[in-house]
Structure 1
Amino acid sequence: MKMTKPKGFPRNLNRRQYHQNIEINKLNRVLNLYYQLPRLPKQPCPMDQLQLKVRSWYNDEIDDQSMRKAIKRDLDKLKSILVTGTVYCIPKKGNQPSEYYLSEDAAIEEMDAELALVLVMANSYLHQYLPETIYNNVKGYFESATKQLEKNTQLQDWQERIRFVPTGYHNTNVDDFHMEKVKNIYTALLNNEQWVKCLYRKEGSFEQTEYTLKPHGIIQYGNKQYLMASKIVDQYSELRTFNMQRFDNIKFSKQRISVDVDSFDLDDLVEEKEYENAHFEREELSIKLRCENYLRDELESYPIDEYQDIIDQDEDYFILEAKIIITTSVLNWLVEKSHSIQVIEPQELFEKVKVHVLAARNYYDVDYDDLAEYRDDEKEESDLDSFFDDESDAEIGDINQDSVELDHE
C-alpha cells in the first residue's frame, strides 16, 4: 500500500520532524493562552476577544467554529499542566460567548523550594507596604509559591513561620487608606514619561503645597517609604526627597511637560543618604569617637563607615575613626549612646551632641551626681552578669561527655 503525505506536509521534512513541529506548535499555543488569559482579580476574557488575541497561532485556513474548538482543547490542555491553580470558564446563555480567566494562583512553572521560600518571605514583607490594588494583582504568584513550598516540604504553615516587623515604637499596621492615595506613584514609576501633580505637607507642617513631580524611585528606610523625585522649579527640575506618608492627593499630569531631567542612579542616592535629613550641609566629616568596649561587637557587625578604623585604647575603651555624613539617624544614635560614646572630633559635632544631651538633662531634672550614681549601678550590674556568665561557662565545662550524650538517645 502506498503511503501518502498529509496535506500541507513540507517536502524538505521527514514525517518525524513534521510531527515534532506540530507538537511544538501546540505547546506554543498553550503557552500563549497562558500569557493572554486575564488573572483574577482582572475581568474574564470572552471567547471572541480571546480568539482575536491568539489567532496568529492557528491555521489561517480553518473557520471560526473549528478555531474555537481548537482553543477549547488547548485550554483543557493548559488546565491539565498547571502546577497550581486552574482555568475557569463562565458559560453564557444564547449566543453570548463564554468567558475565561486564570485563578489567582495559576502557575505553569514549578518552583524549587528555595525560590518558593524567597517569594513567601517577599510576600510577608511587601504586603505591608504595597497599595492594596497593586498587591491584589500579584498576590496570586505569592499564593502559588506558598502552595508549592508546602508541597515540597510537607509543611502547611509557612505563612505562620515568617514575620517582618517594623523597628522602634511604630505600629505594625500600615494605613491602607494612605497606601491607596499613593498608588499613582507606583504606576508613574512604571511609565518613564509620566509626571504627577500632588499635594504635600512638609514634615512638621500642616500646610499643603502643590508640586509637579517626576518620580525616580522609592526607598524603604525602616518603617517609612521615601520618594526620590524631580520637582519643577521655574522651568527647571531639582531632585528632592518626599516622605510618602505626607502626600494628601496624587494625580497624573495630563499636560505634556518639557523639562530636562537629569538621570539618577538609585544606588548612588542610597549611598549618599539622600532619603534622610543631614547636618553640616551634607558634607562628610572625619569623626573620632571614644567608645566603651561593649559597643565593639555592634560596630564591627554594623559599621558606620566601610573604611572605619577601630583602635584599642585600654580595657574599657576604644577609639573609632570614620568619615561619614551626619544624618539625623547618626546624630540620634550619638545622643542615644552619649552615656557610652564621647565625640572627640570634630568640635562642631561635639557641640551639637552636647546641646541635645543638655536638653534631655533639663527635661528630666538630672544632675551630675545622679549620672555618676547611674553609671556605678550600671557597672555593678554588668560585672554581676559577667560573673554569672563565667560561672555558667565553668559549670558547663565541668560536665563530662558521657552525661551530655545521655540527652541524645
Structure 2
Amino acid sequence: MNTKESFVSQFFRILNVFQALPKSPNHHISIEDLLESLKTTYEPFHAPRKTLQRDLKTLNEILHQGHIDQVVASGRRSACYRLSPDAQLNLNKQNIIQDEFQSLATIHSYNFLKPYFPESWQKTLSQQFEQAQNTLELKNKNVWLTKFGFALDGAFQTHLNPKNEVKELIFKCIHQDNSWLEILYHPEAFEREATRYTIKPHGVIVRGRKQYLIATKINYNRKIQIRTFTMHRILHAEPTPESLSIDIQDVDMQKAIEQYEFEGFYNDDQPKEIQLNCSNVLLSELKFSEIHPSQQIWSDDADTYFTLTAEMPITQSFLEWLVQKAQWIEVEYPEDLREEVKNRIIEMAQNYALEVIDDDIEWQEDVEENFDEESAIQTLESILAEPEDDNVITLHDLFPQAVEFVSEKEMISTAELQRKLMISYNSAAKIIDQLLHVDFIQKSESAGKYSVLIKK
C-alpha cells in the first residue's frame, strides 16, 4: 500500500463505511462485523482495524446531518457503532469531488493566486489543488485544463513579489490581533532612503503585478495612521512586541478598494471635480469601462471630441493613465492636475531627447486695468488686424471666428471653443487667454467657465 493515498480512494472507502453502518433503531454493529463486511476494502492495509477506526472518525466529521452512535467497548466486548436516525451524507450536494467545473475553477484560482501567498500557505492550498486535479482525472475531464489559459497581467510580465520570509511574517501577523512588525521600507521615490516603521498589518490587496499591504503605522508619539505599503518594497521585517496600549481598529479590505485607500494619491484623498476633453477615439472605451461611478459624458455625434466630468480622488494610477492617454485627452480642470500631466509629458520627452514645441503666439497685451468696453473693442480690432509674423497666421485667422462664436454666448469654456473651431486644446486655451487679456471675457465662479462681457 502506498503511504500517500489519493483523496478519491479515501472518499469512496468512507462512502462504503456510511452505507455499511446500520441506522437507529437497528442494533449496533461491532467493529469486527463491520470490518468483515468491508473485507475487500480494508484488506490491503497493514492495520485494517486502525484504518477503519480512523475512517469512522472522519465520517462522523463530514456528515451533513446527524452523527455516529458508539457503544464503548467494555471487558472483552468490542466497540459497536450505528448511525443516528437523522444521519445524512448528502451526496447530491455540489462538492469538489463531483463537480468538474468547480474543480477547474479551483485549479486555475490556485495557479493564479499561488505567487501571492507564502510557501506555508501554498502547501495548505495544494491539498485542495490535488483534490481538484483528482476530480478532473476521475471524471475524465482533465482535457478542460488545456482549454483555459490566463495572462491577466501580461504573458511576459513577472509578479513583483516580496521575499518569502517577509510574506510569512505579514500573513501570520494579519491573523494574530496582537502581533506587530518592524519593517524596513523603501518608498516609491528612489532618491529617498529606506525608513523603519512599526506597523500592525490588516490585509493585502492585489492589483496588477503589485501587492499592497494595508497596515496601521504606530508613531512614537502614540498616534496611529492607516498606511499603504507596496509589499515588494519591504526590504526586511521582524516581529516586535506590542509596546503601546492602543486601540487599533481593523480595516475592511473591500471598503479600502472602493475608497482607493490602497493607492497613493496625487495631493490628498478628497474627491475633486475633474473635467476632461477627450477624443472620440476613447468614447466606446470610457462608456464600457468608467473611470469612476460619478463619470458623466457629454457628447454630440457631430463632434470629434466629448467632455467627461467626474468627482473623484485623484490617484497616482489615474494620473499615470492621463499621461498614457495624453494624445487623446486634455485636462480642462483642475488646473494643477493639468499642469502636472503637462510637466510629466515634458519630462518624458526630455528623457528621450525630443524637442518639445510650445506654439508661442505673440498676442498684443495693451490692456487697461479697469474694464472699458470701448477700449476693449479697439484692442480687439488691433488683434484682428493682419499680423506681420507668418508663424501666427493659423490661429490669427481663427480668431474672428472665435470672437463671433463667443459673443453669442453668456458663458464659454475652453473645451467648447475647441470643439467649435476643431483645434487643439492648447490653441483654444491661447485664444481664451487673449480674450481674457482684452476683457472680452472674465473668469466665473463655475470652474472652467468664463462669463462673456461683450455680447453681439
| Same-fold status (TM-score > 0.5) | yes
Local SS of the residue matching 1:182: helix
Aligned to 2:230: 243
Classify 1:257/1:161 alpha carbon distance in 2 versus 1 (closer, same or farther; 3 Å): farther
Structure 1: distance between partners of 2:228 and 2:263? 8
Classify 1:357/1:285 alpha carbon distance in 2 versus 1 (closer, same or farther; 3 Å): same
Uncovered stretches (5+) of structure 1, i.e. residues with no partner: 1-14, 37-55, 72-80, 84-107, 371-409
Q: CA deviation at 1:253?
A: 3.0
**Is the 2:265–2:314 contact (alpha carbons within 8 Å) kept by the matching residues of 1?**
yes
> Which residue of 340, 345, 354 maps to 2:342?
354
Aligned to 2:260: 273
Q: CA deviation at 1:170?
A: 7.0
| Code of the aligned partner of 1:366 | E
Structure 2: distance between partners of 1:133 and 1:341? 47
> Which residue of 240, 257, 264 maps to 1:253?
240
Q: Does 1:180 align with 2:159?
A: no
Choose between structure 1 and 2: higher helix proportion. Answer: 1
> Which residue of 184, 187, 190 maps to 1:199?
184
Classify 1:63/1:128 alpha carbon distance in 2 versus 1 (closer, same or farther; 3 Å): farther
Classify 1:168/1:160 alpha carbon distance in 2 versus 1 (closer, same or farther; 3 Å): closer
Compare CA radii of gyration and give the structure with the larger one.
2
Structure 2: distance between partners of 1:20 and 1:329? 70
Q: CA deviation at 1:31?
A: 6.2
Structure 1: distance between partners of 2:260 and 2:231? 17
Q: CA deviation at 1:229?
A: 0.7
> Which residue of 20, 26, 29 maps to 1:19?
26
The equivalences for 1:8-407 within 5 A come to 17-19=24-26, 30=55, 32-33=57-58, 59-62=71-74, 110-152=97-139, 154-165=140-151, 167=153, 171-172=157-158, 178-205=163-190, 207-233=193-219, 234-254=221-241, 257-313=244-300, 314-364=302-352, 365-368=354-357
Local SS of the residue matching 2:171: helix
Q: CA deviation at 1:227?
A: 0.7
Structure 2: distance between partners of 1:121 and 1:109? 14
Structure 2: distance between partners of 1:204 and 1:265? 28
Classify 1:239/1:31 alpha carbon distance in 2 versus 1 (closer, same or farther; 3 Å): farther
Structure 2: distance between partners of 1:331 and 1:191? 36
**Is the 2:212–2:228 contact (alpha carbons within 8 Å) kept by the matching residues of 1?**
yes
**Is the 2:256–2:262 contact (alpha carbons within 8 Å) kept by the matching residues of 1?**
yes
Local SS of the residue matching 2:348: helix
| Code of the aligned partner of 2:173 | A
Local SS of the residue matching 1:164: coil
Aligned to 1:378: none
Q: Deviations over 1:4-28 (max 9, x none)?
A: xxxxxxxxxxx973338879xx999
**Is the 1:241–1:274 contact (alpha carbons within 8 Å) kept by the matching residues of 2?**
yes
Structure 2: distance between partners of 1:207 and 1:57? 66
**Is the 1:182–1:250 contact (alpha carbons within 8 Å) kept by the matching residues of 2?**
no
Structure 2: distance between partners of 1:64 and 1:293? 89
Local SS of the residue matching 1:187: helix
Structure 2: distance between partners of 1:133 and 1:339? 47
Structure 1: distance between partners of 2:27 and 2:176? 41
Q: CA deviation at 1:166?
A: 5.3
Spell out structure 1 runs of 4+ moving beyond 6 A.
20-23, 26-29
Q: Deviations over 1:40-64 (max 9, x none)?
A: xxxxxxxxxxxxxxxx985444479
Q: Deviations over 1:281-307 (max 9, x none)?
A: 222111111111121121112100112
Structure 1: distance between partners of 2:137 and 2:288? 34
Q: CA deviation at 1:220?
A: 0.3
**Is the 2:72–2:78 contact (alpha carbons within 8 Å) kept by the matching residues of 1?**
no
Local SS of the residue matching 2:341: helix
Structure 2: distance between partners of 1:57 and 1:189? 40
Length, aligned pairs only: 299
Classify 1:163/1:65 alpha carbon distance in 2 versus 1 (closer, same or farther; 3 Å): farther
Structure 2: distance between partners of 1:171 and 1:64? 68
Q: Deviations over 1:102-153 (max 9, x none)?
A: xxxxxx962413322221221121112112221012212012112313443x
Local SS of the residue matching 1:33: helix
| Code of the aligned partner of 2:281 | Y
Local SS of the residue matching 2:268: helix
Structure 1: distance between partners of 2:316 and 2:149? 28
Using the size of structure 2 for normalisation, the TM-score is 0.57
**Is the 1:201–1:207 contact (alpha carbons within 8 Å) kept by the matching residues of 2?**
yes
**Is the 1:166–1:223 contact (alpha carbons within 8 Å) kept by the matching residues of 2?**
no
Q: CA deviation at 1:228?
A: 0.5
What is the RMSD computed on CA atoms of the aligned residues? 3.8
